[in-house]
Amino acid sequence: MRINSSIIVRAPKELVWELITDPAGYLDFMSGITRWELQGDGDVVETPARLELGSRVRMLIRVGAAEVGGLIEIVEYEDCRDMAWSSVTGIDQRGRWRLRDAGKGMTRVELRYSYGVAGAGIAGLLAERVGAPILRRRLRESLQRLKQVTEGERQRREAGARRERAAA
Amino acid sequence: MSKATTGSARVNGRSADSNASPNGDAPERDPDGADRGALAAAAALPLAAAAAAGGIAGRLLGPVARSLGNRLSADLDDRDPDFIRENLPLSWLISTLWFRGEVRNMQNIPEQGPVLLVGNHSGGNLTPDTIVFTVAFCTYFGVERPFYQLAHNLVLASPVGPLLRRYGTVSASHEHAREALEAGAAVLVYPGGDWEVHRPVWERNQVDFNGRKGFIRLARDAGVPIVPVVSVGGQETALFLSHGGGLARLLRVDRTLRLKVLPISIALPWIVNVGDFFSHLPLPAKITIEVLDPIDVEARFGPELDLDEVYEQITGEMQGALDGLAAERRLPVIG
């Protein structure tokens, strides 16, 4: 099952990219996410780091009666444009952040997510469909929160820049 | 964990652990003097005896006895992560749509290593709390993490026994639990077992392990933490009326079949359900489960354990959590 959602953010894509490659921010803006931990060589990475090609993250998202997810890996990384991940363990999943200029300093942010369990048969298909509205809502809420966080950050930085100019 | 070791549990068509308590106790007498967990053994023994005696009956019943014995013997290798993974969507659907399952504080379970998960048990032979928790555990930690559930012999001797073994269900005994823990697995045990799971509905919000303390010794001997798992709602999936201990004695099945409980309930589709041998269609009661903080038994209670004190402390904490969960419920079944 594949679902996707998109939103226009009043901020440059560089700023959006900065936020979505910061693993520490996911618990704040991703709806339903209960775990988002960057993994090192078998351990959780203690110091904050950026997501990059090959980064592995242990993630869980609450869907219905369970927290579902597993270990994912960043498999595609094009600066300020695309970042895609694929599951290593857990349910089969692929996801993608897709950023595009929307003109006038705005960015179109698209979040795509596909998931399933190979070999699960009819129950798997049914579970995918039952889970779809929940996940679709999660995606929409996540993008709304990302928009708020990003635009808040843009305003904060613009205000800081104005203060510096005034002080100068 | 070796085949040879586990294979040694297979003795003459019955499991060597068949007198084990479903709570993970070593074979021993319960406080009431009852041998528990012996239902299937009781069923297997006459068959095995007939087979051994030769004759037509023996030839006919021998394969049945062997089959039953194989179902009861434990083999941790029977657990099949791919099978669990492929069946998670079905379990998730049941857990989500029928029982509206909610499992809290999974992060209290240590991320790695062996752990003894100790739960209160509800819902008759169907045990919805196990379904909901198993889904939550397998999705949270992944099917790759070894996870075993100790079950009554009757469950493993039933037609769904072979499926449950692939889920990691093994017949309850101290030996099987210790073997799994030594292999680094998480083990789920319900000390109250058959007694607690059939308690009357008006005791639905009570933790009742019936004085069984084997799980404490197990954790101490294996040096693993106990993580209490408290659930509410399971005992609202039918109208449970009685353990039926008196009925079992009246019908003498306590002696002939070693059945110390013969539960009586009002349940679909049977209406009056005696024994719950064929299970029942559960009402869609909301199941809420809360995982409590881990308990390092030796660190907390010292090397010289007073089993009674530890038992009272742990069941007391679980009862407190259950009271909290029960207080959240506005209506039975609805939750």
Cβ within 8 Å, pair B95-A64: yes
H/E stretch holding A8 reads: strand A2-9
In Å, how far are A1, A140, B7, B16 from A143, measured between CA atoms? 20, 5, 55, 58
Q: Among A36, A130, A135, which would you mutate to test the B interface (most chain B Cβ atoms within 10 Å of its Cβ)?
A: A130
Alpha-carbon A114 to chain mean position: 13
CA triple B14-B18-B24, angle to 5 deg = 145
Q: Tell me, what amino acid is at B284?
A: P
Other Cβ atoms closer than 10 A to A13: 21
| Residue B243: predicted pLDDT | 87
pLDDT in tens, A133-168: 999 999 999 999 999 999 999 999 999 999 999 998
Instruction: Tell me what the pLDDT averaged over chain A comes to.
Output: 92
Closest-CA residue in chain B for A44?
Answer: B111
- CB within 8 Å: B144 and A127: no
Of the candidates B161, B155, B172, the one whose C-alpha atom is nearest the C-alpha of residue B119 is B172
How many CB atoms neighbour CB A92 within 10 A?
16
Of A65, A70, A118, the CB nearest to B101: A65
> For an interface test with B, which of A89, A93, A122, A125 has the most B Cβ atoms less than 10 Å from its Cβ?
A89
When CB atoms are compared, the residue of A60, A67, A120 closest to B89 is: A120
- Cβ-Cβ contacts under 8 Å, A130 against chain B: 93, 96-97
CB contact under 8 A, B89 and A67: no
With an 8 Å Cβ cutoff, are B144 and A64 in contact? no
Instruction: Determine the residue of chain A that is closest to B132 in CA distance.
Output: A65
Q: Running DSSP on this structure, what letter comes out for residue A44? A: B
Q: Which fold has domain B77-328?
A: Glycerol-3-phosphate (1)-acyltransferase (3.40.1130)
Chain A residues whose CB is inside 8 A of the B95 CB are 64-66
Residues of chain B falling short of pLDDT 70: 1-74, 258
**Domain ranges (residues) in chain B:** 3-72, 77-328
pLDDT confidence of residue B248: 85
Using a CB-CB cut-off of 8 Å, the residues of chain A touching B93 are 123, 126-127, 130
Verify whether the Cβ–Cβ distance A60 to B100 is below 8 Å. no
pLDDT by residue (tens digit) across A25-73? 999 999 999 999 998 765 555 555 899 999 999 999 999 999 999 999 9
Nearest to A62 by CA among B334, B285, B113, B105: B105
- Full DSSP string of A75-107: EEEETTTEEEEEESSSSEEEEEEEEEEEETTEE
Helix (H, G, I), strand (E, B) or coil at A73: strand
Query: Using a CB-CB distance cutoff of 8 angstroms, which residues of chain B are in contact with residue A117?
Result: 85-86, 88-89
Which of A60, A72, A135 would you mutate first to test chain B, the one with the most B CBs within 10 A?
A60
pLDDT of residue B72: 56
Q: Which residue has the tokens 């993490």?
A: B145
* Subunit contact A68:B139, Cβ cutoff 8 A: yes
For chain A, list residues whose CB is within 8 angstroms of any CB belonging to chain B: 60, 64-71, 89-91, 117-121, 123-124, 126-128, 130
- What is the distance, to the nearest Å, from the Cα of residue A7 to the centroid of all Cα atoms in its chain? 13
pLDDT tens per residue across span B109-124: 999 999 999 999 999 8
Sign of torsion over alpha carbons A7, A13, A18, A23: positive
Q: What three-state secondary structure class fits A110?
A: strand
**DSSP collapsed to 3 states, chain B:** CCHHHHHCCEECCEECCCCCCCCCCCCCCCCCCCCCCCHHHHHHHHHHHHHHHCHHHHHHHHHHHHHHHHHHCCCHHHCCHHHHHHHHHHHHHHHHHHCCCEEECHHHCCCCCCEEEEECCCCHHHCHHHHHHHHHHHHHHCCCCCEEEEECHHHHHCCCHHHHHHHCEEECCHHHHHHHHHCCCEEEECCCHHHHHCCCHHHCCCCCCCCCCHHHHHHHHHCCCEEEEEEECHHHCCEEEECCHHHHHHCCHHHHCCCCCCCEEEEECCEEEECCCCCCECCCCCCEEEECCCECHHHHHCCCCCHHHHHHHHHHHHHHHHHHHHHHCCCCCCC
- Residues in B closer than 8 angstroms to A120, CB to CB, are 86-90
Q: Give, in order, the Cα–Cα distances in Å from B305 to each of B7, B63, B221.
A: 33, 46, 11
Q: How many residues does chain A have?
A: 168
Please give, rounded to a whole number of angstroms, the shortest distance from the CA of B108 to a CA of chain A.
13
Choose among B89, B100, B136: nearest Cβ to A127.
Answer: B89
CA atoms of A54 and A21, how far apart (whole Å): 13
Spatial CB neighbours of A168, under 8 Å, sequence gap ≥ 6: none
Reported residue count of chain B is 335
Query: Does the beta-carbon distance from B140 to A66 stay under 8 Å?
Result: yes
Which residues in chain A are contacts of B90 at CB distance < 8 A? Answer: 120, 123, 127
- Distance CA(B104)–CA(B232), nearest Å, equals 12
Distance from the A132 Cα atom to the nearest Cα atom in chain B, whole angstroms: 13
Contact A130 B82 (CB under 8 A): no
pLDDT at B31: 33
pLDDT at B66: 57
CB B127 within 8 A of CB B101: no
pLDDT at B65: 52
- A70, A90, A124 member nearest B89 (Cβ): A124
- pLDDT tens-digit map of B251-310: 888 777 767 788 999 998 989 988 888 888 999 999 999 999 999 999 999 888 899 999
pLDDT of residue B156: 84
End-to-end CA distance of chain B: 42
Please report, for residues A32, A91, B78, B79, B185, the alpha-carbon distance to residue B168 in angstroms, rounded to integers and kept in the order given. 29, 19, 7, 4, 10
pTM for this model (two decimals): 0.83
- Exposure of A78 in the CB half-sphere (CA atoms within 13 A): 8
Any idea which fold A2-161 has? Alpha-D-Glucose-1,6-Bisphosphate; Chain A, domain 4 (3.30.530)
Domain ranges of chain A: 2-161
Provide the pLDDT for residue A46.
57
pLDDT at A144: 97
Best probe of the B interface among A68, A72, A129, by most B CBs < 10 A, is A68
**What pLDDT is stored for residue B172 in this prediction?**
87
Q: Which residues of A97-119 are buried (b: 16+ CB within 10 A; e: fewer)?
A: bbbeeeeeeebbbbbbbebbbee
